[in-house]
Chain A
Amino acid sequence: MFKMENASQKLKRIYTKLFANPYIIFLLAFIILVLPSLIRGFDIHGQESYFYYRISNYIINNEIPSYDFLSFGGRAFLYNMGSILFLVLFNLLLKISIINLLVFIPIILGFFSLLLFYLILRDFKVTRTTSSFICYLFILSPVFLYSFTHFTSFPIPLFLNLLGFYFVIKERKIFHYLAFFVYIMLSFFDFIHILFALIIIFFYLWKNKKLNRFIPYSVIILLIIYLNNSFVHFGINIINYKFYEYFSMLGGEYGLSIFLVFMSFFGMAYLWKKKYKNTLYYLFFILNIIMLILNIKYIIYITLILSVLGAYGLKYLYQLKWDSIIIRDLTVIMLIAGVIFSGALFLVNSSERNPNSGVYNALIFIEDNTNPRDVILSHEKYGIYINSISSRKNFVDINKAYAPRSELRFYYLKKIFYDKDLSNTLKLFEEFKITYIFITPEMKNSLVWTNRNQGLLYLIDRNPEYFRLIYNQDGVEVWRVL
């Protein structure tokens, strides 16, 4: 009996050692990061990647424009330049094509971000097992998978943020100077990234009673932001989201894992054991939640925080005195299974190529058969593809911030999609110079309509004198407005 117990203890130790081995974590991370590209091919994927592809290419071939002729039928060039400038600079300096940069930067930066995160945790004297578990939770989070399996607005600023903070916590002065340099670069990105940097540095220095060190950081960062944004007048981009959109399974594109959130509750319970001695952490957490409410893109940083809290939560749950060991083990297994499942599900979904070949071919057809001045009407999900693949003007796309009369355009879009009054629809087409309509199977299957008897579908089917079908393959239709 004693021998058996000894063997089981030994086995447990071996597993723990293996599980906590950093090489295993990074190997897993690498596999997860590369897997979607292996499945769908090493090519551009997703709206954000195509957006960066178009803008970077334009800047390389021309210059930084003041007007974007394609988005929203034409708008002022008001985009965050951070990621775009990085792509352009890398392209010019290293002579790597934009496509390759868009494919490989997220994978490389994902890997290095995780490495930095691990090193930061180790610097904070978090045990190897806990650090490993935190990293596993982070790797399996839908936000991490969304951010690093294709190019988005997240990989570069997140990496810079982690790098900057890693330099801040180092003792040697040279690192502090490097941190300044990193944060200067960070100020070219969205406000939320800079705010996270400020918040985390502030709380770190406050905790270590070195608040005087915060002044140079804050002054430099805020000054750069001021200079950077005095030209383009960027703000925090407060956009209201519904509560459930913050969760990946419940309707969010890249939300939080429900199970990670539950684990974090236990993490909070763990913190609460010391009651008000942990006030600093509560404040830090609350402030970050406020930031998340203000801008959903902050979710990447909340995931970092929740991964830490979640790992401690699970540890706390496991170490609690349970009456029933079976229930404890089953509960822990289910929580872990839940995290793995939400990550795996997101990974499977993101492995499908976006846009698929049917949509892509139709967009190429538009490029070949339409005039550069034509405006193509479609759902906002396809706006960026119309700009990037067809090189044509869209009516709307996902870059709503600072778009001219965007609310009005979305109102009219709804009207066009669902109104059965031909004269009203034609009037709007004339007003916005819409000459083509791009319809995908997804739009016909509940994204916009549910059957051909509705709104615009009804009109185009029954009015051949006003609409002509010029492309119809794989369920993708292109109609010309006559």
Chain B
Amino acid sequence: MKIKPLRILAVIFLLSFVFNLYLSFSSPYLNNDDSYFNLRVIENIRNTGLPIIYDELSHGGRFIVVQPLFHYLFALFSFIPFYFKIFPAIIISSLVLISYLIAKEITNDETSSLFTALLSGFIPLYSRVLINQFTPYFVVLPLTSFLLFCFMKLENKKYLICFIVGSSVLALMHPYSFLLIFILLFYILLMNTEGIPIMKLKKEIMIFTFFLVLLINIIIFRRVFLEYGIHAVYGNNPLSNTLNIFKSIYLIGIIPLCLGILGVYQGFFKMKKESIILISSLILGILFLLLLGITDIDIGLLFLSFGLVIASSLSIKFLFIYLEKTKFNSFKNFVIICFVFLIFLLSLVPTYISYNKEFTNLNDFKWFKENSESDEAIIAPLEYGHMISYFSRRKNIIDSNFLLAPDSKQRNYDVNLMYTGWSYNKAIEISKEYGAEYIYINDNIKKFYNIQDLKYVQDGKCITKVKENIYKVIC
């Protein structure tokens, strides 16, 4: 009896969902402190009906810019228990369905589409940037890929409306909507170089999307543009990104990387298929952003890996076509099982291994809430900034909201100096400057800075240990 492809797809979707949910619930806390910032905005919306405009806890108090659609959307569902774990798991798993649809559009082949769906469900990078995280990226990636699918089938009015609505939602949700612009620009470029005429409706929708994204982002980020001008694109980020090639290959996944590159080659140079040109544009668009240093490397690689997974569909199709021409065709089922096993081994297992429970014990932050004054600031590394605001309800020195943040480079430098420096006087000076009364240091921080403890505490009496991971500045 032949199993219906849709049933297999449903199984893959459920498998991916259960896997994501299992990893999410394996930790009592969310990964990535940005998740807690988003929860705080949602709480604010629930309490006041408005997102946070002036955040008195971030960087000691400053204006912030948020694209509020994401927060409003999930504020509606916030009555559901663990909505911040369940919805990300469902939406990330929806990538399985979207990639199936795109692959089907590209290959018109069930087997390769299903394999693509399976591949897209378990990309190792997910565990670093998507799983158990409540950031807009878990919506942005599926939405962008859905928009690409709609773009492929634009002649159908249903998809045209979906594209208009989807692109508006994306523009209102995240600045990554600019990626869509870059994808479409590369699409025009590649189509022109290949001499393939672009459908008129597609040209129209590209003009529309361009102005839509530009207008919405300019309206939302007007204050940022006025403050930084063109440098706004770099997001006032004090951190420098470095790309580790081998780690990136591991995180993208060996199979998507190899088959993806092969797929792009086949589709672009041999078949000259419009749909694969669109996927190539996604890859080129994200590479372009990475090259300019505008995007975070992990997020860039996430989109890149998705593009490669989709491009893999062509390679998988050709692999099976080739197989049919050989004597191994009688072992087709065995090959399929082997391939599934290989995907599990090279994609699912690395995804599981790569998953890290970022925070295991956050009781110290709750301690701050009960044992410190409300106007006191706490020194903690950048990665803990939002935890201080969310759990302790106290001012942090720095967090990852760099746009419009005062003096983020200096703050980052000073906070790092608090952990790595030797000078007692300097430490006192820094804590005085930021009005900080506490210094937070746990084992992860010690490991990160490669220190046993703060090096200067014995040099004076102003910094005393009040708890295992907490120092208080008493002078």
Contact = CB atoms under 8 A, between A and B. Distances in A.
A93 interface: no
A448 to B, nearest CB: 12
Interface in B194-226: 200-201, 204-205, 207-208, 211-212, 214-215, 218-219, 222, 225-226
A328 B201 CA distance: 10
Contact of B208 (A252, A330, A345): A330
A330 B209 CA distance: 10
B433 A337 contact: no
A324 B160 contact: yes
B218 A341 contact: yes
A108 interface: no
Interface in A170-218: none
B26 interface: no
A446 B405 CA distance: 10
Contact of B211 (A244, A324, A335, A453): A335
Interface string A298-335: 00000000000000000000000011101110110011
B81 interface: no
A249 B205 contact: no
B442 interface: no
B51 to A, nearest CB: 20
A251 B225 CA distance: 7
Interface string B398-440: 0000000011011000000000000000000100010000000
Contact of B215 (A334, A446, A452): A334
B411 to A, nearest CB: 8
B230 interface: yes
Nearest to A249: B225
B460 interface: no
Contacts of A222: none
B433 A331 contact: no
A445 interface: yes
A327 B208 CA distance: 6
A78 interface: no
A369 interface: no
Contact of A446 (B204, B218, B226, B407): B407
B406 A446 contact: yes
Interface in B207-249: 207-208, 211-212, 214-215, 218-219, 222, 225-231
B164 interface: yes
Interface string A340-379: 0110010001000000000000000000000000000000
Interface residues of A, number: 33
Give the one of B164, B201, B211 with max A CB within 10 A: B211
Contacts of B200: 322-323
B410 A451 contact: yes
A327 B204 contact: yes
Given A330-B164, A334-B212, A323 B230 contact: no
Interface in A149-173: none
Interface residues of B, number: 28
A77 interface: no
Give the one of B200, B230, B231, B433 with max A CB within 10 A: B230
Describe B's contact surface by its main secondary structure.
helix
Contacts of B201: 323-324, 327
A234 interface: no
Contact of A338 (B204, B218, B226): B218
A183 to B, nearest CB: 37
B406 A450 contact: yes
A251 B222 contact: no
B389 to A, nearest CB: 21
Nearest to A322: B204
Contact of B230 (A251, A322, A326, A446): A251
A337 B208 contact: no
A328 B229 contact: no
A328 B214 contact: no
Contact of A262 (B211, B219, B222): B211
A340 B106 CA distance: 42
Interface string A429-466: 00000000000000001100011111000000000000
B230 A244 contact: yes
A258 interface: yes
A11 interface: no
A453 B434 CA distance: 11
A338 B215 contact: yes
Give the one of B160, B205, B225, B231 with max A CB within 10 A: B225
Nearest to A326: B164
Interface in B274-302: none
Contacts of B229: 244-245, 250-252
A245 B207 CA distance: 25
Contacts of B230: 242, 244, 250-251
A332 to B, nearest CB: 9
A258 B433 contact: no
A451 B204 contact: no
A331 to B, nearest CB: 5
A258 B215 CA distance: 10
B226 A249 contact: yes
A328 B218 CA distance: 21
Contact of B410 (A252, A327, A445, A453): A453
14 contacts: A249-B226, A250-B225, A259-B215, A262-B211, A324-B204, A331-B207, A337-B215, A338-B211, A338-B214, A341-B215, A446-B227, A453-B429, A453-B433, A454-B410
Given A327-B207, A446-B406, 20 more contacts: A242-B230, A250-B225, A251-B228, A258-B214, A327-B160, A328-B204, A330-B208, A330-B212, A334-B211, A334-B212, A335-B211, A338-B211, A338-B218, A341-B215, A341-B218, A349-B226, A445-B406, A446-B227, A453-B429, A453-B433
- The 3 closest A-B CB pairs, nearest first, are A251-B229, A450-B407, A244-B230
